[in-house]
């Protein structure tokens, strides 16, 4: 019977006779499967974007942040907690005492309103040391020059602007030597950065770079760092360098027990490993949440199949009267459930892929380097869960149909 094409033709005729009901029955499955694929595809695209951003900053870097963390979690500073334990002298000590470190710089950031003549725009300023160009991969000055150690020591009000800031504020005017107001302070522009784009979810071209001491004391009124980065020499063992940096910071902060660390040091490789673990766990969690909607679809299918059993009661009685066995009746309704679920699954898979593609197109249009990725695991998860739902929720109606008494079924009105 399973190989009899007329058998399946009869099932499809039944579904076609109730097209709208069949579609609405499958809608829960369609939404559930497409949700699983969209969420896991979006998660994979976001994960890939994060990795590209980290690689854009540089894979040969150490990140040094204030605040402790365990090996698998983010430092407290990442969670938006303001911690003041990391200072400029810490970075100078690391740079001078660890031979494997080529250069290091601290970072502080602030919101800025830029004014030049009658033009004004919102932006942000980044306080860094002159080593910034040596630390950051791809950071170059297109015209003019970057500020010096003397500029930093003397609290010079000099600035190097991003290419987007130069275009928006000055247009075709050469900005070198011009004076702009950053919030309430006047700065002289000494350089324009080469176009760099989005790095670390920050548009590097829409920033103003100023000496870190100037940013701390004049612009922000602080003496601590938001974070720091250090460039490791080629071939150096990142784990060894991390251990050396931690030892220096513990000595400077008078810390005897590593459990009392008030800082976090991570290599880019370690950071990628942590990001991979976190994003993978989040992807599967969100996929599992989306899969719950398949249960709702399964309940809908079970309800409709129970209605179908009621509508087919006399037919079931007739088939049993001419020799159909219980397993034949049960198999008929179970296969009908599987076909209905499979149709919803196929539509859901293609819908999820199409919507995921649209998301990637929109993200790219917004300037993000977003890859269109459909993880095979998302399709396997969605398909497997759908089959389980079909079997689980189709079993009861099928058994109810199989257990009908033929005499009672023939008398059913």
Q: Is residue 59 part of a domain?
A: no
In a domain, 62, yes or no: no
Q: Where are the beta strands (DSSP E) in 345-411?
A: none
313 vs 192, more confident: 192
Please report the sign of the dihedral spanned by the C-alpha atoms of residue 53, residue 59, residue 65, residue 71.
Answer: positive
Q: If you ran DSSP here, which 8-state letter would residue 173 be given?
A: S
Statement to judge: residues 114 and 42 lie in one domain: no
- Is residue 405 domain-shared with residue 294, that is, in the same domain? yes
Does any domain span residue 285? Answer: yes
pTM score: 0.64
The boundaries of the domain holding residue 47 are: 5-53+274-411
Structure-token pair, residue 151: 């500029």
The token duo for 181 is 């107001």
Pair 110, 247 in one domain: yes
| Residues 100 and 165 occupy one common structural domain | yes
Q: Are residues 130 and 16 in the same domain?
A: no
Residue 134, CB half-sphere, CA atoms under 13 Å: how many? 16
Of 261, 291, 320, which residue constitutes the final position of a domain? 261
- Would you give the DSSP letter of residue 157? -
The helix/strand/coil state of 200 is coil
Q: Are residues 135 and 21 in the same domain?
A: no
Residues 308, 378, single domain; the answer is: yes
Q: Do 202 and 126 sit in the same domain of this protein? A: yes
What pLDDT shows up at residue 224? 94
- Bridge partners of 361, per DSSP, are none
Same domain, 250 and 288: no
DSSP count for the chain of H helices, then E strands: 13, 12
Do 45 and 159 lie in a common domain?
no
Q: Burial code of 50-84, b = ≥16 C-beta within 10 A, e = fewer? A: bebbbebbbbbbbbbbbbbbeeeebbbbeeeeebe
Domain contains 89: yes
pLDDT at 283 over 90: no
Last residue of a domain, one of 200, 231, 261: 261
Six-digit token pair at 126? Answer: 């980044």
Q: Which two tokens stand for residue 359?
A: 């998301």
103 falls within a domain: yes
78 occurs within a structural domain: no
Taking only the tens place, the pLDDT of each residue in 57-116 is 666 889 899 987 765 555 555 555 668 899 999 999 999 999 999 999 999 999 999 999
Among 154-163, 189-198, 268-277, 379-388, the range scoring the smallest mean pLDDT is: 268-277
192 lies in the same domain as 111: yes
Which residues are 64's β-sheet partners?
A: 228, 265
Q: Flag whether 241 is in a domain.
A: yes
For the chain, the domain total comes to 2
269 found inside a domain: no
Indicate the SS3 state at residue 318: helix
Q: Do 292 and 256 fall into the same domain?
A: no
């Amino acid at each position: 019977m399973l190989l009899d094409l007329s058998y399946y033709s009869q099932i499809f005729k039944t579904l076609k006779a109730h097209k709208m009901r069949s579609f609405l029955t499958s809608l829960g499955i369609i939404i559930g499967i497409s949700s699983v694929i969209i969420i896991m595809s979006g998660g994979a695209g976001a994960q890939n974007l994060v990795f590209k951003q980290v690689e854009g900053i540089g894979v040969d870097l150490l990140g040094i942040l204030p605040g402790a963390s365990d090996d698998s979690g983010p430092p407290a500073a990442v969670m938006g907690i303001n911690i003041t334990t990391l200072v400029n002298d810490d970075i100078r000590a690391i740079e001078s005492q660890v031979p494997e470190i080529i250069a290091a710089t601290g970072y502080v950031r602030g919101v800025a309103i830029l004014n030049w003549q009658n033009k004004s725009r919102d932006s942000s300023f980044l306080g860094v040391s002159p080593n910034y160009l040596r630390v950051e991969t791809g950071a170059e000055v297109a015209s003019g020059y970057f500020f010096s150690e003397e500029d930093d020591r003397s609290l010079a009000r000099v600035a190097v602007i991003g290419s987007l800031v130069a275009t928006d504020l000055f247009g075709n005017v050469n900005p070198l030597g011009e004076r702009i107001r950053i919030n309430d302070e006047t700065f002289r522009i000494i350089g324009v950065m080469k176009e760099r784009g989005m790095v670390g979810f920050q548009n590097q071209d829409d920033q103003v770079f100023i000496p870190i001491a100037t940013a701390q004391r004049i612009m922000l009124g602080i003496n601590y760092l938001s974070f720091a980065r250090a460039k490791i020499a080629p071939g150096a063992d990142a784990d060894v360098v991390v251990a050396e940096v931690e030892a220096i910071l513990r000595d400077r902060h008078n810390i005897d027990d590593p459990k009392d660390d008030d800082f976090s040091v991570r290599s880019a490789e370690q950071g990628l490993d942590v990001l991979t673990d976190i994003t993978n766990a989040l992807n599967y969690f969100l996929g599992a949440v989306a899969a719950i909607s398949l249960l709702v679809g399964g309940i809908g299918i079970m309800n409709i199949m129970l209605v179908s059993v009621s509508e087919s009661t006399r037919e079931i009685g007739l088939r049993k009267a001419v020799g159909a066995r219980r397993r034949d009746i049960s198999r008929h309704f179970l296969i009908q459930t599987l076909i209905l679920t499979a149709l919803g699954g196929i539509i859901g898979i293609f819908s999820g892929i199409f919507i995921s593609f649209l998301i990637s197109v929109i993200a790219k249009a917004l300037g993000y380097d977003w890859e269109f990725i459909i993880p095979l695991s998302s399709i396997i998860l969605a398909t497997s869960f759908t089959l389980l739902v079909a079997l689980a929720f189709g079993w009861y109606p099928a058994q109810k149909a199989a257990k009908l008494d033929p005499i009672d079924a023939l008398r059913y009105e």
